[in-house]
Amino acid sequence: MLRKILNFLQTLRTPVNHRGIWRKTKAQSLVEFAITLPIVLLLLSGVVEFGFALNYYLSVLDASRQAARWGSNLDPFNTNGTDNYTFYSNVAAEARYNLDPRVVNPSYEGRRIVLDPAIDDVVVTVFSVNGTTVTRYPTAGSYRLYGNVTPIFNATTIANNLVTGAPNAGVLVVEVHHNYHQVLKLPWITPFVPDPMYLRAYSIMPLSAAEP
């Protein structure tokens, strides 16, 4: 009787080949594939969307860096010592141009990152460091292209990060704030990832014209 029971249980096991090696049935493989496929698709679509967002962030970072590098050779002051707002608007325009070349060249064909005047922004600030004293320019507050965000840097944040004994210096800070809208907009991603996704990047460059 015991032998009959063991033989019956043996028939319920996964089939083996003539060498006694376990092998899967086609039905079992299809079931496993059907179970894992949605998970694989979820992971793959998430990686693709993240790749798009990362690519946009790198472009935002490059735009801030290029604008800061370009503005580091200019003078933020008028001849009478007042704030030269043309300097600030030009630096902000340079950042915008690097994101969307069509603002200057209407015939441009290629990828564009268009800043939304309602939620995006470009912030340009100059700091003059004299010992432990930090002065911000423009004197009325950081220049904001659209006036939508609070600047990342102010005189206090710069002063708190000064190195003891550092020489006097002038620095230019360019911040780019952009809200990235998902490209795929898949219903299983949007509940977990904000759309739009807030991206911000900044670059700091020496500005000799602002040295004390």
pLDDT for 125-160, tens place per residue?
999 999 889 999 999 999 999 999 999 999 999 999
Q: What confidence tier does 1 reach under pLDDT thresholds 50, 70, 90? A: low
C-alpha angle 15-20-24 in degrees, rounded to nearest 5: 35
Enumerate residues 6+ apart whose C-beta is below 8 A from 210.
76, 77, 126, 127, 128, 137, 170, 171, 172
d(CA 136, CA 204): 14
Q: At 4, list the tokens.
A: 């009959």
φ, ψ at 55 (rounded to 5°): -65, -40
Residue entry with tokens 């991206």: 199
pLDDT for 73-95, tens place per residue?
999 999 999 999 999 999 999 99
Identity at 49, one-letter amino acid code: E
By three-state DSSP, how is residue 184 classified? Answer: coil
Asked if residues 151 and 123 have their Cβ atoms less than 8 Å apart, the reply is yes
pLDDT for 161-179, tens place per residue?
888 888 899 999 999 999 9
- The neighbour count for residue 19, using CB atoms within 10 Å, is 6
